A and B are shown apart, each in its own frame.
Chain A
Amino acid sequence: MRFLLLLISLFVGLFAAASLYAAEGECLKCHAESSANRQLKASAHAGHLSCADCHGSDHQKIAQGESFVGADVCGRCHPQQLAEHRRSRHGMGLHAGWGCTRNMPERTMQECQFCHNPGDTRPLSTVQCARFLKQSPEMAQIGCNRCHMIEDSCASCHTNHLTEAKIVQDPAVCAKCHMGPDHPQWEAWKTSQHGTLYPLLGETEAPGCQLCHMPQGTHDVSGGLTAPPGGKPYQASKFAAQRQAMLELCRQCHAPSFAARELKRADAVRAQTLALVEEARAIIRNLDDHGWLDPSPRQRVPHPQRGQELVLDGAMLYEDISYIESLFFRLNKFAAAKTFKGAYHQNPDYTHWYGNAEVKLLLNDIKGEARRLQERAGQGGQNLPTRNSDPEQTLEVLQRQYQRGERDADAYRKAKQQVLEEILEMN
């Protein structure tokens, strides 16, 4: 009996090996010398996976680039890592990535499959990036998707065929996307005390990105973060739990009170910075309420998601906007981000000179430009009028003020009634 079982196992093993060999053989006829094959052979997948296991066997599809190896393919053998990735900020990368296919310049199968499973019109993720929608296909591919594809691509960090852990344990792997003027996490860390010591003494003496943001190898990179993208902190209950998780990590090297105090200081810097951003935003909204932006949102190419509306939030564009809005974009997206990314990564120069000083200088420029626009409209030095001569514009302003909480429901209703009366009485 035992012999029979041994014989069956041997046959099954031989059959599996033969199948693998056959499948491999088919691809290797042409791809034996490829770097993909060289890397696969040197990886932990060697001998366990054939090309077809991940890529499928439809060569035409593969050649046309329609056989994308998504995270689900890796998740067949690595379900825990996939689950962690899916619930993390990386797993919702498309929130800042792709737009609806009907806004895409070329509606091809490849484009569709990035957001939809074949045959399913439900998008894989909520899609909401106006800046992506303004891009050329080439620019969108290199400038947007190479980072935001992480939602569905393990290869973003792990590379396509290599499996060595040291690749993904190096902070450099994060730098591809987490750098630059909009969120210089890598530079802020690299030029901080942590980043200086790390290459000299290693992770036992100073943390790299992974130690704090992917502790114990988790693929949930959101642990310990206290704010979603954009900087506004999470609600109190979530904030407390997240902060506690980060403090647990800090106390491996630091006194708990020291770590708590430093993070609290960074929280304060963030709150102060957001207040300056809000001040700048209010100035621009007020100009728009009076139709003094040049060009005004009603005179420009419509925003791809919000039309002729003034957009100063996460969907703000850096093109087809007025000069004062471009100043605000730099203040909010670049300088403010540098300030608090610098503060949380313990980098004094990023916090102060690249960040805070730049925020204040840009706010000053915004105030100056606002005065210029006001003067040009003949309102120099005066308080801004509260009413516009066009009833539709007046109603728009009233509605915006109500939505921003600057008017209560009763005041909004009365002001609206007054405009309606004027329309009815007009000749």
Chain B
Amino acid sequence: MRNRHYGAIFWWLVLGLSLGGCVGPIKPFPALNAAALRVQPLVRIEQGAPFALSADGRWLAFAEQRLNLRDIESADQLELEPLVPDAMSWSMKNELAVSMAQEGQALLRLYSVTGERLFEQPLPGRVSRLQWSEDGTLTAGVLERKTYRFGTHLTAWLYQWNEKRQLKRWKLFESTINPAVAAQQGDHLFRLFDFDLSPLGDEVLLTRIFAPPAFAPARRLMLYHLATRKTQILDELPLTSGSARLGAEGETLFVAKGAGQISQRRIWFEHLDQQWPGENFSFSPRAQLLLIDNRLYNRKGLLLELPPLSQPRFSAGGRYLLVLHADALYRIGGYPRADLLPFEPRVLKKLLQLRRLRSLGLIEPRDYSQARERLVPR
């Protein structure tokens, strides 16, 4: 009887300690080397849980077994979905797009900050990434797969909804991959397909999965023009590591090949403009900020160094950094930005026309660069 009593006390202690660990105060963020920064602790979160911060920095979406939406000002929190999404992204108008795998297909949902469902669309396949444009266009990269005895056939689609939720779609590529690679990647196959819509909205950078029986598997980095449907091979990435993004105005390319280097070059030219050491990176085209591992750069150089092992991510638009450090999320704001001004409509129209001609191969990249210099002097 006494033993049972002691046992109960022991388990209450264990539970109490573990709960105390979860709800106790978040540790202060280590001191940073920039004075004007505002750092705010937000919430405890598990390692590897997906999270995203709205453009105005007030709304946090994060998923630990279920998808939650948290108002940072009031600390109110509500559950949006009972599962972890494949992809999520905030628009500049604080709408949250979320995609989940459900019954063999993808389910795309759009939420307001009050948790109201604004839009819903089932899609065949799995969504690999969601991306919002400045004008309210939502773009989704979707990978469909069919398994045959001799291999797995992949079809990559780009779905795009304008502000009125009218849909357009493009088949970006088809690829048959050998059974060994398909089995090895399993459910992660859809993560190997990645895309980045140009800030001008006319071109898409994409990774084409390539794994036929007689060749080493890899991912081809390609540029696809949405109107002309012309494709240009730019580079090659390892199958499971590395990534690529388009830079400001869609003229530069950032590439990491999983070899500890991130390089920047002009899209249609071979020579490198710049290189940084690092593995993971993201680029915020509007804010023109580059995040490499735990370091934040602007066009002039290093802006901010976060503690080692921090996992920072841009909010929509790049106004804030959302940082996973130790077991908590922090919001950092107040760093200098040089937000890109939109092009004049007349200049934008000409640039789009020139980019179209370039994609069709009717003008050379050099012709395009010279013409662009005259339209948009540095």
A positions within 8 Å CB-CB of B: 102, 109, 112, 118-122, 391-392, 395-396, 399, 416-417, 420, 423-424, 426-427
B363 surroundings in chain A (CB, below 8 A)? 395, 416, 420
How many angstroms between the C-alpha atoms of A109 and B150 in the bound complex?
9
Q: Which of B326-378 contact A (CB under 8 A)?
A: 346, 350, 353-354, 356-357, 360-363, 367, 371, 374-375
How many angstroms between the C-alpha atoms of A307 and B48 in the bound complex?
45
B350 x A424 contact (CB < 8 A): yes
How many angstroms between the C-alpha atoms of A417 and B367 in the bound complex?
8
B174 surroundings in chain A (CB, below 8 A)? 102
Question: Could you list some 18 contacts between A and B, CB below 8 A?
Answer: A118-B150, A119-B178, A119-B213, A120-B213, A121-B176, A391-B353, A391-B357, A392-B353, A392-B356, A392-B357, A392-B362, A395-B357, A395-B363, A416-B362, A416-B367, A420-B367, A423-B354, A427-B346
Q: Which of B160-195 contact A (CB under 8 A)?
A: 174, 176, 178
B309 surroundings in chain A (CB, below 8 A)? none
How many angstroms between the C-alpha atoms of A420 and B346 in the bound complex?
16
B positions within 8 Å CB-CB of A: 149-151, 174, 176, 178, 212-214, 346, 350, 353-354, 356-357, 360-363, 367, 371, 374-375
How many angstroms between the C-alpha atoms of A392 and B230 in the bound complex?
15
Distance to closest chain B CB from A104 (angstroms): 12
A120 surroundings in chain B (CB, below 8 A)? 212-214
How many angstroms between the C-alpha atoms of A182 and B356 in the bound complex?
40
How many angstroms between the C-alpha atoms of A281 and B74 in the bound complex?
75
**Residue of B at shortest CB range from A112?**
B150
B362 x A399 contact (CB < 8 A): yes
How many angstroms between the C-alpha atoms of A35 and B84 in the bound complex?
64
Distance to closest chain A CB from B46 (angstroms): 41
**Given A118-B150, A119-B213, A423 and B353 touching (CB < 8 A)?**
yes
How many angstroms between the C-alpha atoms of A162 and B158 in the bound complex?
54
Contact of B360 among A109, A392, A426 (CB under 8 A): A392
How many angstroms between the C-alpha atoms of A420 and B354 in the bound complex?
9
B151 x A119 contact (CB < 8 A): yes
**Residue of A at shortest CB range from B179?**
A119
B151 surroundings in chain A (CB, below 8 A)? 119, 121
Distance to closest chain A CB from B175 (angstroms): 9
Distance to closest chain B CB from A162 (angstroms): 34
B371 surroundings in chain A (CB, below 8 A)? 420, 423-424
How many angstroms between the C-alpha atoms of A427 and B374 in the bound complex?
15
How many angstroms between the C-alpha atoms of A417 and B374 in the bound complex?
14
**Given A423-B350, A424-B350, A122 and B214 touching (CB < 8 A)?**
yes
Q: How many residue-residue contacts, CB under 8 A, span A and B?
A: 51
How many angstroms between the C-alpha atoms of A205 and B329 in the bound complex?
96
Distance to closest chain A CB from B229 (angstroms): 8
A122 x B357 contact (CB < 8 A): no
B356 surroundings in chain A (CB, below 8 A)? 392
A395 x B362 contact (CB < 8 A): yes
A423 surroundings in chain B (CB, below 8 A)? 350, 353-354, 371
**Residue of A at shortest CB range from B361?**
A399
B346 surroundings in chain A (CB, below 8 A)? 427
**3 interchain residue pairs of minimum CB distance:** A395-B362, A121-B212, A119-B150
A392 surroundings in chain B (CB, below 8 A)? 353, 356-357, 360, 362
How many angstroms between the C-alpha atoms of A392 and B352 in the bound complex?
13
How many angstroms between the C-alpha atoms of A118 and B149 in the bound complex?
9
Besides A118-B150, A423-B354, 19 more A-B contacts (Cβ < 8 Å) are: A102-B174, A119-B150, A119-B151, A119-B213, A121-B151, A121-B176, A121-B212, A121-B214, A392-B356, A392-B357, A392-B362, A395-B357, A395-B362, A420-B363, A420-B367, A423-B353, A423-B371, A424-B374, A426-B350
How many angstroms between the C-alpha atoms of A109 and B151 in the bound complex?
12
B212 x A122 contact (CB < 8 A): yes
How many angstroms between the C-alpha atoms of A423 and B213 in the bound complex?
47
Distance to closest chain A CB from B338 (angstroms): 27
How many angstroms between the C-alpha atoms of A420 and B361 in the bound complex?
14
How many angstroms between the C-alpha atoms of A137 and B153 in the bound complex?
22
Distance to closest chain A CB from B174 (angstroms): 5
A424 x B214 contact (CB < 8 A): no
**Residue of A at shortest CB range from B215?**
A121
B354 surroundings in chain A (CB, below 8 A)? 423
How many angstroms between the C-alpha atoms of A391 and B371 in the bound complex?
14
How many angstroms between the C-alpha atoms of A416 and B358 in the bound complex?
12
B214 surroundings in chain A (CB, below 8 A)? 120-122
How many angstroms between the C-alpha atoms of A119 and B213 in the bound complex?
7
A417 surroundings in chain B (CB, below 8 A)? 367
Distance to closest chain A CB from B364 (angstroms): 8
How many angstroms between the C-alpha atoms of A392 and B178 in the bound complex?
41
How many angstroms between the C-alpha atoms of A426 and B149 in the bound complex?
57
Distance to closest chain A CB from B371 (angstroms): 6
B361 surroundings in chain A (CB, below 8 A)? 399
Distance to closest chain A CB from B376 (angstroms): 12
B176 surroundings in chain A (CB, below 8 A)? 121
How many angstroms between the C-alpha atoms of A62 and B151 in the bound complex?
22
B374 surroundings in chain A (CB, below 8 A)? 424
B357 surroundings in chain A (CB, below 8 A)? 391-392, 395
How many angstroms between the C-alpha atoms of A118 and B148 in the bound complex?
11
**Residue of A at shortest CB range from B175?**
A121
A109 surroundings in chain B (CB, below 8 A)? 149
**Residue of A at shortest CB range from B155?**
A102
Distance to closest chain A CB from B210 (angstroms): 10
**Residue of A at shortest CB range from B368?**
A420
B375 x A121 contact (CB < 8 A): no
How many angstroms between the C-alpha atoms of A396 and B375 in the bound complex?
23
A395 surroundings in chain B (CB, below 8 A)? 357, 360, 362-363
Distance to closest chain A CB from B354 (angstroms): 7
Distance to closest chain A CB from B14 (angstroms): 55
Quick one: which of A102, A119, A427 has the most chain B CB within 10 A? A119
How many angstroms between the C-alpha atoms of A152 and B356 in the bound complex?
44
A391 surroundings in chain B (CB, below 8 A)? 353, 357
Quick one: which of A118, A121, A122, A396 has the most chain B CB within 10 A? A121
**Residue of A at shortest CB range from B362?**
A395
How many angstroms between the C-alpha atoms of A85 and B30 in the bound complex?
77
How many angstroms between the C-alpha atoms of A106 and B169 in the bound complex?
23
Distance to closest chain B CB from A110 (angstroms): 13
B150 x A396 contact (CB < 8 A): no
How many angstroms between the C-alpha atoms of A396 and B353 in the bound complex?
14
A396 x B362 contact (CB < 8 A): yes
**Residue of A at shortest CB range from B214?**
A122
Distance to closest chain A CB from B358 (angstroms): 11
Distance to closest chain A CB from B370 (angstroms): 8
B362 surroundings in chain A (CB, below 8 A)? 392, 395-396, 399, 416
Distance to closest chain A CB from B237 (angstroms): 20
How many angstroms between the C-alpha atoms of A396 and B362 in the bound complex?
7
How many angstroms between the C-alpha atoms of A109 and B357 in the bound complex?
41
Distance to closest chain A CB from B22 (angstroms): 51
How many angstroms between the C-alpha atoms of A396 and B149 in the bound complex?
44
A112 surroundings in chain B (CB, below 8 A)? 150
